[in-house]
Amino acid sequence: MSAFDKINLSKTPKHIAIIMDGNGRWAQQQGEMRLFGHTSGVEAVREVLKGCVELGVEYLTLYAFSTENWNRPKEEVDGLMNLMVETISNEVEELHKNGVRLHSIGDEAQLPEACRNALIAGKKSTAANKKVNLILALNYSARWELIQATKSIAQKVKEHQLEVADINDQVIHVHLCSKDFPDPEFMIRTSGEYRLSNFLLWQLAYTELYFTDILWPDFTKEDFYNAVLDYQSRERRFGMVSEQLT
């Protein structure tokens, strides 16, 4: 019996965010170069995306490249950028067939031109799709995002378009690069690391967190279903007490 059969399809999270960690260790365990782990991780992305279509998850945000990842050896960074270009270009047709719309968050202007172009083309050709929104966090970090939002709010205050007293959750939200998406209800991190690594720090304030030892390239659709089942066993109280929820 698959974990899928135990999932309550009327209570699946609308938005799931994933830190796809462990590609490098997975490759090293097999005596391969780290890049082989990233390439193999693409299959796990396909599996999880299919899982989202089957479960009716509307938004999937994947942490594909952080602003800190530039500090990795040049060979790995170049390889990762090529992999992004190749994957986005090769998968667009399949994304389109499955009703997936591509988005990205992050400092896109600093990405190599080929990567920017692949993203622009991928977003354009999937723009009308409505089943799943696939959001790639590329050259993203939450502190970068919050600094951009702060600058833009400060500018509006300076130009008298906004009063300091009116700054609230919603004002911050609309200045984030993720403004078009709801906050994730569920965040998965693979590979046994228990950190947020500068990922969606504002948006994850009330998110249920799930950590698994499985390395990303080994993460299957069944593992994804099991994670969602775990989510469904939790009580989300948002600062209230159990009795208030019923």
CA distance 20 to 39: 12
Count of residues of this chain found to bind ligand FPP when the rule CB under 6 A is applied = 19
Residue 23 within binding range of ligand FPP, rule CB under 6 A: yes
21 lies in the binding site for ligand FPP (CB under 6 A): yes
CB atoms within 10 A of CB 4: 17
Sheet containing 132-140, strands listed edge to edge, beginning at the edge strand earlier in sequence: 100-105, 132-140, 59-66, 15-19, 186-189, 208-211
DSSP for residue 234: S
By CB under 6 A, tell whether 16 contacts ligand FPP: no
Question: Should residue 52 be labelled a site residue for ligand FPP when binding is judged by CB under 6 A?
Answer: no
Binding mask 187-226 for ligand FPP (x = CB under 6 A): ----x-----------------------------------
* Nearest C-alpha neighbor of 217 from the set 196, 186, 191: 191
Report the phi/psi class of residue 199: left, alpha or beta, with left for phi > 0 and alpha for psi in -120 to 50: beta
Q: Which of 18, 81, 83, 102 binds ligand FPP (CB under 6 A)?
A: 83
Residues 7, 18, 20, 187: which binds ligand FPP (CB under 6 A)?
Answer: 20
Which residues carry out catalysis?
21, 69
Give the residue with the Cβ less far from ligand FPP, 62 or 177: 62
Interface pick for ligand FPP out of 13, 22, 79, 106 (rule CB under 6 A): 22
The position carrying tokens 């403004």 is 179
69, 82, 148, 220: which one binds ligand FPP (CB under 6 A): 69
